[in-house]
Structure 1
Amino acid sequence: MDDLTGFQRDLLYVIAGQEQPSGQDVKEEVEQYYSSEINHGRLYPNLDTVVNKELVEKGQLDRRTNYYDITSEGLETLDERREWESQYVDF
Structure 2
Amino acid sequence: MDDLTGFQRDLLYVIADIDRPSGQTIRDELDDYYTDDITHGRLYPNLDTLVTKGLVEKGELDRRTNYYELTDIGDDQLRTHHTWTSQYIES
Q: If the TM-score is normalised by the length of the shorter chain, which range does it land in?
A: over 0.9
User: Which residue number corresponds to residue 65 of structure 1?
Assistant: 65
Unaligned regions of 5+ residues in structure 1, if any? none
TM-score where L is the length of structure 2: 0.94
Aligned residues with identical type, % of pairs: 62
Q: Does 1:89 align with 2:53?
A: no
Q: How many residues align?
A: 91
Unaligned regions of 5+ residues in structure 2, if any? none
Q: Does 1:55 align with 2:55?
A: yes
TM-score where L is the length of structure 1: 0.94
User: Which residue number corresponds to residue 11 of structure 1?
Assistant: 11
CA distance in 1, matches of 2:35, 2:14: 15
Over 3 Å off, 4+ runs: none
Deviation track 1:33-71 (CA, whole Å, cap 9, x = no partner) reads: 113320000000000000111111000011110000111
User: Which residue number corresponds to residue 80 of structure 1?
Assistant: 80
